[in-house]
Chains A and B, each alone.
Chain A
Amino acid sequence: MTGFRLKTGGEIDRARPVTFTFDGESVTGFAGDTYASALMASGHMVMGRSFKYRRRRGLWGAGVEEPNVWLDITCGAGFAPGRRATTEPAQHGAVTRAATASPSAERDATGAFDWFGRFIPSGFYYKTFMWPDWHLFERHIRAQAGIGTVRRDFTDVPPADRIHHHCDLLVVGAGPVGLAAAVMAAEAGARVMLVDEQDRAGGSLLAHPAVIDGQAAPDWLAAALARLAAAGARVLMRATAFGSYDHGLVAVNQRHDDGRSDTMWQVRPHHVLLATGAIDRPLPFANNDLPGIMSAEAALVYLRRYAVAPGRRVVVATSNNRTGAVAQALAEAGVAVTLVDARADATAPAGIALIRSRIIEAHGRRGVRSVTLADGQRIDCDAVLVSGGLTPTIHLYAQARGKPAWDAEKAAFVPGSTVAGMTLAGAAAGQFTLAGAFAALPEALAPLGLPLAAAPVTGAAPRYEIAAMWPEPGEKGRVWIDLQHDVTAKDVELAARENFTSVEHLKRYTTLGMATDQGKTSNLAGLALMGALTGRTVPQVGTTTYRPPYTPVPYESFAAGRRGVRFNPVKRLALESAHRAAGAVLREYGGWLRPAFYGTDDSAILIEAKQARESAALFDGSTLGKIEVMGPQAEDFLEFVYYNSIRSLKPGRGRYCFVLSETGVVFDDGVLLRLAPDHFIVSCSSSHVDGMRGLLEEWRQDRFDPSRVFIHDATQHWATLTVSGPQARAIIAGAGVEADLSDDVLPHMAIGAGRFGDQPLRIARVSFTGDRSYEISIRATQAAPLWAALRQAGSDHGAVLLGMEALTILRAEKGYLIIGKDTDGTTLPQDLGLTGPLAKKSEEFIGRRSLILPDAADANRRQFTGIEVTDGLGPLPCGAHGVEDRDGRPRSLGYVTSSYFSPTLDRPIALGLIERAQARQGEEIAFQHLGQRRRGRLVAPCFLDPDGGRLHG
């Protein structure tokens, strides 16, 4: 128990205690604490276990760089697995547990793994577990993996918002440099957005005091925020700019920490200024992972913001001249401090004991107890604060294809190549003193092209000095590089020895930098060691590719409420409520929600199919495509579009036609209606309307004069109500439709007009059932009264409401095919027995050339056929394959595409695509379904009324 709360100070609200549990133990902090600061203040040292060796781990960082401490958090009704303790505000009543340990961080059941560490180095799993079988080992290894446990009963995450935002300047990072930049730009008239991942603005100022423009940091901060508000800038806190995407888009995830889901901002600024600061690195020495060893910068944050000291006897070890301030701050808080500085010319603040050396080993079990220095001294301590130097946070820059450059003097990658629309400032740009960063601001903001006020001024600070310390080849003991993934210097040496020397191989082989912290503190040390091992410099080794997101982002932020029906909205019928009222069971067909059948169970289907043949049926066919094609070139255009010739189609008539794709495959079928010489309606299949519209537009613009042929999709403007069956005509007349339905005026495949009340109707004598049938189109908004009238009239004639399922039986009885069901993506028109146009049509049409490729003439093509069941066992399963046995093995001949029991014929019927079916009519073949064999005979697809008498009956 080493960390403790200071009596005064910090940004916490000591009047508001916050109590939660950690691994079952009660912990009390204050409002303003994170879980990490509260745990540290209450003396916790071991807060997690490492990923692989299950070593005890404590806090390393104070922000997004934290590799060690992860919590499963239950708070009220909410639950979140595997959350970083350093960035989650402590909530009263929360139940937390170490996500990396079981049953607790202190007493992890698998702690003994560490004893076997020498046998399980990086990549050990590639070298073993091959005998007898990987599967025997895998589940045990899987069980050990993972940070956090998904709760199987918790889905209650509210939909997130997504907001699109445009601005002149997006400033990422509300530290002193970002704030100053935002103020300068906003006061010069730019629309500015300023985002920062922390819960309050200030960045490094919150830990490092400074005097800016003659004001103390808190006063300057408050004034800057006030000036931003006055200038109309938008400031988002808890908002992480995590990704830089094409065409200048920056994605920002904003946390709310109040039960709401996060908000995704998609920001499209004219310019981005990254003032994202820098992250302090660890120092390499043996056992540098012990609890109690933490980042010096982080310790300062805990001290200043949360009034928590890491221990009472503290060693501060550093490679650079920024850390004296940390030692001094701790000393002022009453902590005994020894400064260990690796630089030969190091100096210490007044009153701080200085040793010019470096730590070579830390000692302790549950936490650090002492350290040994290079000069052999051993110093007892209860905490070690380390600073290995600053790594600029340039993720968004690198994601935007910026190329980092190595700055040897600063021992860091800094921005190199320029990126259009993006500049960097402050520590992110390698400017490690505030005065220098302010001085560089006018240049960083120059792309805005605005007259800017002067940048703030602050006292000069000594320039950054560092004697870089990297892990060296042959380190004694276990020097940890990636704390979260348990990668040591020895692992990097092993990678080098085995020739995994490219930076990406190093990363993948050792898993360095692949954990949830994505290597924010560890990558550079790994590169440097690999460089040393292979005789290369750090820039020669290079960096791995920076990938979004900068920190993990909730899935819901991406989905942003796209769930349930909103995931992919269905298209709805104008008459949906009427269908529901009539007892329809609605299902999705081709993106439309349509009545499958009317009744409580699917026994209704056969009743509907039978009654439709005996009397009449009413069917809502509104989804049928209605694309109008008009203009003087309409006929030429459609002659090219259609497989069938349409020039001979007379106004007032319709024709059943195919459209092919350029590959010759049947793309759609339907009845083309010709209303007038230069006015057609393409009634395409319900699910192909979008595809047909695209196809028509493409050819219209590519090949025809777009000013002489026009396309208009009127599908959703019209409802189409179909009356089919022997009684159809009587029902329509009985419903009050004014129209001449006599066979002379309106024979099969003719189009007529009519009225219903004051509404004009289009009536097409087109049949998909094989019975006399009328498709009545009416303005969609006026469909309900007509439907009601038809139902009323229909009830006098025994008409039934027909759902999709029964309709498919009716059309199958007639052998009418459904594109995409009875055809597949290889079906050519000749496979359907329709060779006429190919032989006779002289004009060019879509797909024509493909119909004479060698494959089109293949004798073994699958062809459309009817199938009669010959084994007396009921309908063939749809999806069964026709098979023949060859050399003792089955071979597929094709498949059953439609199969039903026909209530009218009182026997099963089926359609299929079978090899050489046209030549094999009458042949009996075997069918196979899930290993069972059946038998059926190939017959003509039309099972009912082959002469078509019922169309006129």
Chain B
Amino acid sequence: MTRRYSAFSLLREGLSGQKGWEPAWRSPDPKPRYDVVIIGAGGHGLATAYYLAKNHGITNVAVIEKGWLGGGNTGRNTTVIRSNYFYPESVALYDLALRLYEGLSRDLNYNIMLSQRGMLNLVHFPADMEMAARLTNAMQINGVDAELLDRDQVRAMLPIYNYGPDARYPVAGGVLQPRGGIARHDAVAWGYARAASRAGVDIIQQCEVQDFIIEGGRCRGLHTTKGEIRADRVGMAVAGHSSVMAAKAGFSLPLISYALQACVSEPVKPILDCTVIAPGAATYASQSDKGELVVGGALDRVPSYGQRGNLPVLQGVVAGLIEMFPIFRQLKLMRQWAGIVDVAPDSSPIIGESPLPGLFLNCGWGTGGFKAIPAGGTLLAHLLATGQHHDISRPFDLDRFANGRLIDEAAGSGIAH
């Protein structure tokens, strides 16, 4: 069986009909007990399992998934990766993720196709350049690559933007993070799943958590549709369904679940290199390697678990896209979809022990969870392995809502997540 992925193994398998590849991951039945059980085989859950094994040597681990791995927001997002954040706490978190992403293909031996073609936040009006400078300086001081571009520099980089006299949102400049980019979202889930599975982690798909086993005021495991699974510590990374899980465990969370839509165009030849966001148009876009324009915008305004989008927001996003890029009026929308995102009041994640001892949280990523997967996994693994916060996750504990230390990026930078 061929285990390792490389050009050479691909060549060899090509000569023998691709018949020797081993499964990317095993599909075992659950054991009755594990050291750690993680609920949710999305990017964060799988990455947690991988880093438990890699960083802490803990391999007696199960990841429980209601559906199929990577099928939630990990497989529904617009694949943007960036760390252009304002507050040091956020930068520490998201740049940890970006640095791990930068080595992830080789680390996992799985090409996640990280394409660092730059993340460009446009600035529309001269007065807004002050806020852009504030963000650029914050990033630079926090040790993240950032460039403040003027109008001509943006124009050279993004010639297809709407620079016409009637443009509703003209360009005064921009903030560029050259290391920002996109990756292949499914590959991130599959790469972590494969690497975790090889390290001994059991990934249990089609297994729904029915309830928590709570004994002596502590979480001791789970009742699932595949039986009782006990564990010393339980991690939870279920994004939009975090409140539902929390209710089963007997507590509430400061979260609201919304549908976040995205859409792709029919694929066309390369026309857009970087990922670009126009705050005025409330729309952002990139072009995938397949050629599709991947486009997103604001949340649907109605709290929802519906996992499908509605027309008014989509119409606004599409109007935003072709206001940004009038040449895209030539194109058609090919597919729209939505994910359920759990939004915290400050739009920052919640990482830490839950009110139920023994149960640890990784949630509240809102619209930006994909870019943080390696960090979310690293930090939750640290918590599960040690019972203690990593320095980077401490500010994101649930206790910040009681003591008022919210980490609200929009508050400081004027740019929402």
Q: B142 within 8 Å of A by Cβ?
A: yes
Of all chain B residues, the one with the shortest Cβ separation from A929 is: B137
Q: A928 within 8 Å of B by Cβ?
A: yes
Shortest C-beta distance, B13 to chain A (Å), equals 8
Of all chain B residues, the one with the shortest Cβ separation from A141 is: B289
Shortest C-beta distance, A490 to chain B (Å), equals 7
Of all chain A residues, the one with the shortest Cβ separation from B147 is: A930
Residues of chain A lying within 8 A (CB to CB) of residue B191: 126
Shortest C-beta distance, B4 to chain A (Å), equals 9
A881 lies within 8 A of B167 (CB): no
Shortest C-beta distance, A492 to chain B (Å), equals 12
Please, how many angstroms separate the alpha-carbon atoms of A856 and B404 in the complex? 7
B327 lies within 8 A of A154 (CB): yes
Say whether, besides A82-B266, A148-B269, A567-B323, A553 and B130 are in contact (CB < 8 Å): no
Please, how many angstroms separate the alpha-carbon atoms of A684 and B359 in the complex? 46
Of all chain B residues, the one with the shortest Cβ separation from A927 is: B137
Of all chain B residues, the one with the shortest Cβ separation from A79 is: B330
Q: B113 within 8 Å of A by Cβ?
A: yes
Shortest C-beta distance, A188 to chain B (Å), equals 31
A149 lies within 8 A of B269 (CB): yes
Please, how many angstroms separate the alpha-carbon atoms of A324 and B125 in the complex? 68
Shortest C-beta distance, A153 to chain B (Å), equals 8
A508 lies within 8 A of B21 (CB): no
Q: Which of A305-313, A386-394, A412-420, A496-504 contacts B (4 or more CB under 8 A)?
A: A496-504
Q: A850 within 8 Å of B by Cβ?
A: yes
Of all chain B residues, the one with the shortest Cβ separation from A139 is: B270
Which residue of the partner chain, among A143, A518, A879, A890, contacts B134 with CB atoms under 8 Å?
A879
Residues of chain A lying within 8 A (CB to CB) of residue B319: 558-560, 562-563, 567
Q: A113 within 8 Å of B by Cβ?
A: no
Please, how many angstroms separate the alpha-carbon atoms of A89 and B327 in the complex? 23
Q: Which of B51-59, B211-219, B232-240, B405-413 contacts A (4 or more CB under 8 A)?
A: B405-413
- Identify which of B115, B290, B327 gathers the most chain A CB atoms within 10 Å of its CB: B290
Say whether, besides A142-B270, A498-B24, A589-B127, A555 and B331 are in contact (CB < 8 Å): yes
Residues of chain B lying within 8 A (CB to CB) of residue A502: 67-68, 71, 205
B334 lies within 8 A of A825 (CB): no
Which residue of the partner chain, among B18, B327, B402, contacts A494 with CB atoms under 8 Å?
B18
Of all chain B residues, the one with the shortest Cβ separation from A78 is: B330
Residues of chain B lying within 8 A (CB to CB) of residue A516: 266-267, 334
Q: B392 within 8 Å of A by Cβ?
A: no
Residues of A bordering B, CB below 8 Å: 79-82, 118-121, 124-131, 134-135, 138-139, 141-143, 145-155, 157, 243, 245-246, 249, 251, 266, 399, 490, 494, 497-500, 502, 504-505, 508-509, 516, 518, 545, 547-549, 552-556, 558-560, 562-565, 567-568, 587-589, 663-665, 821, 824-826, 850, 853-856, 858, 877-881, 883, 889-892, 895, 897, 928-931
Residues of chain B lying within 8 A (CB to CB) of residue A121: 14, 18
Please, how many angstroms separate the alpha-carbon atoms of A150 and B291 in the complex? 11
Residues of chain A lying within 8 A (CB to CB) of residue B133: 877-880, 929-930
Residues of chain B lying within 8 A (CB to CB) of residue A665: 411
Please, how many angstroms separate the alpha-carbon atoms of A155 and B327 in the complex? 5
B111 lies within 8 A of A134 (CB): yes
Residues of B bordering A, CB below 8 Å: 5-7, 9-11, 14-15, 17-19, 21-27, 67-71, 75, 88, 105-106, 109-111, 113-116, 125-127, 129-138, 140-143, 148, 159-160, 166-169, 184, 186-187, 190-191, 205, 265-271, 280-281, 289-291, 306, 308, 310-311, 314-316, 318-323, 326-337, 402-406, 408, 410-412, 414
Question: 13 A-B Cβ contacts within 8 A?
Answer: A82-B268, A127-B9, A127-B10, A138-B115, A146-B290, A497-B21, A547-B336, A549-B335, A552-B334, A553-B333, A560-B319, A824-B414, A880-B133
Interface of A: prevailing SS? mixed
B290 lies within 8 A of A145 (CB): yes
Say whether, besides A499-B23, A516-B334, A567 and B160 are in contact (CB < 8 Å): no
Please, how many angstroms separate the alpha-carbon atoms of A135 and B117 in the complex? 9
Of all chain A residues, the one with the shortest Cβ separation from B191 is: A126
A554 lies within 8 A of B412 (CB): no
Residues of chain A lying within 8 A (CB to CB) of residue B140: 928, 930-931
Which residue of the partner chain, among B14, B131, B290, B310, contacts A879 with CB atoms under 8 Å?
B131
Please, how many angstroms separate the alpha-carbon atoms of A147 and B269 in the complex? 7
Please, how many angstroms separate the alpha-carbon atoms of A824 and B187 in the complex? 39
Residues of chain B lying within 8 A (CB to CB) of residue A499: 23-27
- Identify which of A494, A565, A881 gathers the most chain B CB atoms within 10 Å of its CB: A881
Which residue of the partner chain, among B67, B129, B205, B332, contacts A552 with CB atoms under 8 Å?
B332
Supply 20 further A-B pairs (C-beta < 8 A) apart from A126-B190, A567-B168, A589-B127: A125-B111, A127-B5, A127-B110, A130-B5, A130-B106, A130-B111, A142-B270, A143-B270, A146-B291, A494-B18, A497-B23, A518-B334, A555-B328, A559-B319, A559-B322, A562-B319, A563-B168, A855-B403, A928-B140, A929-B133
Say whether, besides A143-B270, A563-B323, A881-B141, A558 and B132 are in contact (CB < 8 Å): no
Shortest C-beta distance, B113 to chain A (Å), equals 6
Please, how many angstroms separate the alpha-carbon atoms of A81 and B173 in the complex? 31
A892 lies within 8 A of B148 (CB): no
A155 lies within 8 A of B329 (CB): yes
Say whether, besides A518-B334, A825-B412, A826-B408, A555 and B321 are in contact (CB < 8 Å): yes
B14 lies within 8 A of A118 (CB): yes
A555 lies within 8 A of B5 (CB): no
Say whether, besides A134-B111, A135-B115, A154 and B330 are in contact (CB < 8 Å): yes
Say whether, besides A502-B205, A547-B337, A147 and B23 are in contact (CB < 8 Å): no
- Identify which of B22, B75, B127, B404 gathers the most chain A CB atoms within 10 Å of its CB: B404
Shortest C-beta distance, A519 to chain B (Å), equals 11
Please, how many angstroms separate the alpha-carbon atoms of A664 and B405 in the complex? 12
Say whether, besides A125-B113, A135-B116, A825 and B411 are in contact (CB < 8 Å): yes
A881 lies within 8 A of B138 (CB): yes
Residues of chain B lying within 8 A (CB to CB) of residue A518: 334-335
Of all chain A residues, the one with the shortest Cβ separation from B302 is: A246
A565 lies within 8 A of B160 (CB): no
Please, how many angstroms separate the alpha-carbon atoms of A157 and B328 in the complex? 10
Of all chain B residues, the one with the shortest Cβ separation from A564 is: B166
Residues of chain B lying within 8 A (CB to CB) of residue A505: 68-70
Which residue of the partner chain, among A130, A142, A558, A891, contacts B315 with CB atoms under 8 Å?
A558
Shortest C-beta distance, A258 to chain B (Å), equals 17
- Identify which of B7, B15, B22, B110 gathers the most chain A CB atoms within 10 Å of its CB: B7
Which residue of the partner chain, among A151, A547, A855, A878, contacts B404 with CB atoms under 8 Å?
A855
A126 lies within 8 A of B14 (CB): no
Residues of chain B lying within 8 A (CB to CB) of residue A880: 133, 137
Residues of chain B lying within 8 A (CB to CB) of residue A824: 411-412, 414
Please, how many angstroms separate the alpha-carbon atoms of A560 and B219 in the complex? 53
A555 lies within 8 A of B329 (CB): yes
Please, how many angstroms separate the alpha-carbon atoms of A377 and B320 in the complex? 59
Of all chain A residues, the one with the shortest Cβ separation from B87 is: A892
A150 lies within 8 A of B330 (CB): yes
Shortest C-beta distance, A113 to chain B (Å), equals 14
Please, how many angstroms separate the alpha-carbon atoms of A930 and B132 in the complex? 11
B334 lies within 8 A of A930 (CB): no
Please, how many angstroms separate the alpha-carbon atoms of A915 and B18 in the complex? 62
Please, how many angstroms separate the alpha-carbon atoms of A81 and B106 in the complex? 38
Of all chain A residues, the one with the shortest Cβ separation from B333 is: A553
Please, how many angstroms separate the alpha-carbon atoms of A155 and B70 in the complex? 38
**5 smallest beta-carbon distances between A and B, as pairs:** A825-B411, A879-B133, A146-B291, A855-B404, A853-B404
Which residue of the partner chain, among A147, A850, A854, contacts B266 with CB atoms under 8 Å?
A147
Shortest C-beta distance, A77 to chain B (Å), equals 13
Residues of chain A lying within 8 A (CB to CB) of residue B328: 150, 555
A147 lies within 8 A of B291 (CB): yes
A146 lies within 8 A of B10 (CB): no
A878 lies within 8 A of B130 (CB): yes
Residues of chain B lying within 8 A (CB to CB) of residue A82: 266-268
Say whether, besides A555-B265, A555-B331, A134 and B167 are in contact (CB < 8 Å): no
Say whether, besides A125-B113, A152-B327, A555 and B27 are in contact (CB < 8 Å): no
Of all chain A residues, the one with the shortest Cβ separation from B26 is: A499
